[in-house]
Structure 1
Amino acid sequence: MTTIAKASGSGGKRALTKAANRQAILAAARQVFARIGFDATTVRDIIRETDLAAGTFYNYFRSKEEVFEAIAGESARRFRPMLQTVREEARSFEDYIRAAYKAYFSFLKSENEEAFRRGEPHMALIGVRVDTPEMHAIFDEIRQDLEEVARNADISLEDSEFLTAAAIGIARELGDHMLQRRPVDVDGAAKFATTLLLDGLKALATQSTR
């Protein structure tokens, strides 16, 4: 159960900040989503994982979907600086693809280290559509990166929007399955994803010349 530290105050009542309550809900939701899956989780399940009263949940979120979006949004904000580093250090189109996948899979592993230590399942993303401003920003950022590194390498992209969607889709699906394996093989997942995407681009280029 996710607990919240008590603070002294007049009448011995709890003095809980909004930030503490919100973080308690998010931490509890992470555990429940990982344990029984997003689809099976109810708001009541999340509340039971905290010390909060049932009505408190709705002061912060309207549904479990909003909680999941908040978790995904926070993760996206933490990942964006890593993506920026990849962009700055990439020396070629292939280098960017490989480094971006490795950065994401490494981030995904680190995000679930606590669950691994407790012997609990990881927080699966398969089948869950996340539509937040942060996720849109990452999509646009990756598309711009792909266009720039391709242009610098004199590579013609058939459709940068489709390519970005494919790259992110591979990362999400492959990343989830990577977390189910032991040991968690970040390098193997990054190599597989990179090869799959680059070979797909080569096949598209071959078709377009026919």
Structure 2
Amino acid sequence: MIRDGSSAMTPARKLRPSKKREATAQQTHERIRAGAWQSFVQYGLEGATVSAIVRASGISTGTFYNYYGTKEAVFDRILEDLTQDIRTISAEARARADDLETMLRLSYAALLDYILGLDGARAFIAMNQHHIRSRLYGASGSEGIVQDLRGDIARGMPGHALSSSETDLIARLIISNGIEAVLLLGDDAETDTAKVADLVTGLLIGGIHGMRAE
């Protein structure tokens, strides 16, 4: 509060958010994540160091700690960003079909194509399988995908009387199969994503079709 010489009190003026400052902060976040990705691809989460991330990012150590604080925080942010992208991509793929089997086939293929299109993705997966698996199951982004799938399951399985818990279980199994398909891609540069999507879909949909219909 600022006194103006009278008994009235004038509120202190607040600075407006700076678009330039916000853009700079966003660029710094992106540089750190890009540098961290390189380090996690090369060394894995356990072998990567903050100093390696700082060097790859081209920032100062102080800046890194101001933005993230730990390498684990950057790793979590990278996975969260990937999960959000996957949620959008898979939902768009499923929207192109009306039956669950086709939805899953399109969704899995889109997921695998997206992951394999990322530079260094195979090495990132190979170096960090345990950490990826432990973080993705139950992550907030994964829960969002569960909610999306619940609606698609109802749409893609007309005539099936599924309880809420059954629908939830199917949604989580769909996600689990997708995660494991990604983690087991291996080093084969010629992966046929459509074939893998068909295999995973066939294994899953066979069990779902065994459920009672009304």
TM class, shorter-length: 0.7 to 0.9
Q: Secondary structure at the match of 2:32?
A: helix
Work out the CA distance in 2 between the residues paired with 1:146 and 1:126: 28
What residue is the counterpart of 2:189 in the other structure? 182
Note the alpha carbon deviations across 1:48-78, whole angstroms, 9 max, x for none. Answer: 3222111211111132222122212222333
Which residue of 148, 151, 158 corresponds with 2:155? 148
What residue is the counterpart of 1:99 in the other structure? 106
User: For the aligned residues, what is the CA RMSD?
Assistant: 2.6
Query: Would you say 1:126 and 2:126 are equivalent positions?
Result: no
Report the TM-score when normalising by structure 2.
Answer: 0.74
| Aligned amino acid, residue 121 of structure 1 | A
Task: Report the Cα offset of residue 20 of structure 1.
Answer: 1.7
Task: Report the Cα offset of residue 183 of structure 1.
Answer: 0.8
Which residue of 112, 115, 123 corresponds with 2:120? 115
Work out the CA distance in 2 between the residues paired with 1:25 and 1:64: 10
Work out the CA distance in 2 between the residues paired with 1:139 and 1:40: 32
Structure 2 segments unaligned to the other structure (5+ residues): 1-22
Q: Rg larger in 1 or in 2?
A: 2
Task: Report the Cα offset of residue 156 of structure 1.
Answer: 4.0
| Aligned amino acid, residue 126 of structure 1 | Q
Confirm or deny: 8 A CA contact 1:69 1:132 kept in the other structure: no
CA, structure 1 residues 96+193, in 2 after alignment: closer, same or farther (shift >3 Å)?
Answer: same
What residue is the counterpart of 1:10 in the other structure? none
What residue is the counterpart of 1:198 in the other structure? 205
Task: Report the Cα offset of residue 27 of structure 1.
Answer: 0.5
Work out the CA distance in 2 between the residues paired with 1:101 and 1:36: 28
Query: Would you say 1:35 and 2:38 are equivalent positions?
Result: no
Work out the CA distance in 1 between the residues paired with 2:63 and 2:139: 23
Confirm or deny: 8 A CA contact 1:115 1:122 kept in the other structure: yes
Confirm or deny: 8 A CA contact 1:44 1:54 kept in the other structure: yes
Report the TM-score when normalising by structure 1.
Answer: 0.75
CA, structure 1 residues 39+196, in 2 after alignment: closer, same or farther (shift >3 Å)?
Answer: farther
Confirm or deny: 8 A CA contact 2:99 2:156 kept in the other structure: yes
Question: Aligned residue pairs: how many?
Answer: 184
Structure 1 segments unaligned to the other structure (5+ residues): 1-15
CA, structure 1 residues 179+108, in 2 after alignment: closer, same or farther (shift >3 Å)?
Answer: farther
